[in-house]
A and B are shown apart, each in its own frame.
Chain A
């Protein structure tokens, strides 16, 4: 490619200066895209041969395997392609990665992930073979490096979990008189906990693979949807929880610089 352009970057002015200060030279803006089709999903209670409660017990949370896989695969693919593009450009790291996730109206069952960021090369340190990714701004990266931490990768976990409501909860919360009183709905609460454990487990597994010491800036994004199911003239309100967790894994450098002194400042803007 013969381009006279020195570099392209999605960094702002202050961000660019911060990155340069940390000894990173911007090379090129990079991107990774993945469209993923979600296959047919069987709902948990229909899967059994022995009747609806054969396979799944009441009050249990089950992961919808197809949808869960779709989100996780699509995210990993987009990140992998971004990493690939960065490596082609000869980069050591990618800063300011933004992951965008969406559904399209023109195609159902389609999951889309777009990852964009700025590939940089380190002029001060040898960062090894793997391209380091992070979804932190240039300023944040510069601050981390100054304190002896390095971002090592974007870690994430998604889950789509199905909560099967039990008879106990349905009876208590839906009854004519009992619905007047305050009460917790234990099946739903447990469902949220289960979904979080499922998504978090993927995140920590990836972080362990990267030999990370910690994960910062974790965002938890959840949405819920109800699903009506009728058995023997009783309507059960089941719940589908979609949860996405994303963060940046960091490592502490063994011979890191001493932390800069902090002082209290009064910004004039």
Chain B
């Protein structure tokens, strides 16, 4: 018998083997969860503005879920968490309820080399096991998942501007400006988090637009990525070989009843 205890992980076989090849052992599935009541804020009908109460809610609830997940990893003595997924789902029961869940696999380096973030917390990364392996072999390592969010109210078009534009091909500068501002705010906040984490850059950024049951003119922009720092000067990877893939999209013949 080995002295190691049982691990559980939601990594696929490919990810599991590559995380091991990168020198890490999975320790366990870690979860952070928070069910959150989002408050209320009225937006001015004809003004572009950030809905700061709602932004605050989205930030706070995600923070709660992420911190709880990190605490579980801390208890397992992990170096970090890979393949983190951060989901928000609305619940139709109850008013303004949303469920925030962060799930990932806690890992530890086999040779005991410390891979934690500069802050001493376990690193977090939303990269898949495959990307994690490639990133490490290219001489970088993840420090933390960074995110920025902005809930924004897009102004309604007034009667005057509707009259001016009716039936014509024309840009709607008001709407363009609103979506620009909202995206910019979210990206900026994400960058600020990465700077606070002393990262060199952010990889795998996703910018997601969402509406969590608010009125149609209220949108959330959520930017999330993995902040990385270099581990060596050399960032060259071995020349990739070309592969003619024999895989079909249909992986298995029989798909059940």
Contacts and interface: CB of A to CB of B under 8 A. Distances in A.
The judgment on whether A and B are partners is: yes
Interface of A: 9-15, 29, 96, 98, 100, 114, 116, 118, 136-140, 143-144, 147, 173-174, 179-185, 188-189, 192-193, 196, 200, 203-204, 207-208, 212-220, 224-226, 237, 239, 247, 252, 259, 262-269
8 contacts: A179-B37, A184-B34, A200-B29, A217-B12, A220-B103, A237-B93, A237-B94, A269-B247
Interface in B185-241: 237-238, 240-241
B252 interface: yes
A184 B6 contact: no
Given A15-B251, A100-B257, A196-B31, A268 B242 contact: yes
A268 B36 contact: no
B10 A219 contact: yes
Interface residues of B, number: 64
A168 to B, nearest CB: 13
Contacts of A29: 254
B17 A12 contact: no
Contacts of B243: 265-268
A266 B124 CA distance: 27
Contacts of B10: 217-220, 247
A177 to B, nearest CB: 10
B61 interface: yes
B251 A215 contact: no
A193 B33 contact: yes
Contacts of B166: none
Main secondary structure of the interface of A (DSSP, over half): mixed
B64 interface: yes
A184 B8 contact: no
A65 B25 CA distance: 36
A208 B241 contact: no
A114 B256 contact: yes
A217 B256 CA distance: 19
A137 B251 contact: yes
Nearest to B134: A264
Contacts of B137: 264
A256 to B, nearest CB: 12
Contact of A96 (B20, B53, B61, B252): B252
B69 to A, nearest CB: 12
B95 A179 contact: yes
Contact of B240 (A180, A212, A220, A264): A264
Contact of B8 (A214, A237, A252): A214
A10 B10 CA distance: 25
A10 B256 CA distance: 9
Contact of B35 (A179, A184, A204): A184
A266 B240 contact: yes
B256 A100 contact: yes
A182 to B, nearest CB: 4
Contacts of A216: 9, 11-13, 16
Contact of B39 (A100, A181, A224): A181
Contacts of A263: 238, 240-241
B4 interface: yes
B120 interface: no
Contacts of A15: 251-253
Nearest to B95: A179
Contacts of A204: 6, 8
Contact of B26 (A98, A214, A269): A214
Contact of A182 (B33, B57, B242, B253): B57
Interface in B105-134: 133-134
B194 to A, nearest CB: 25
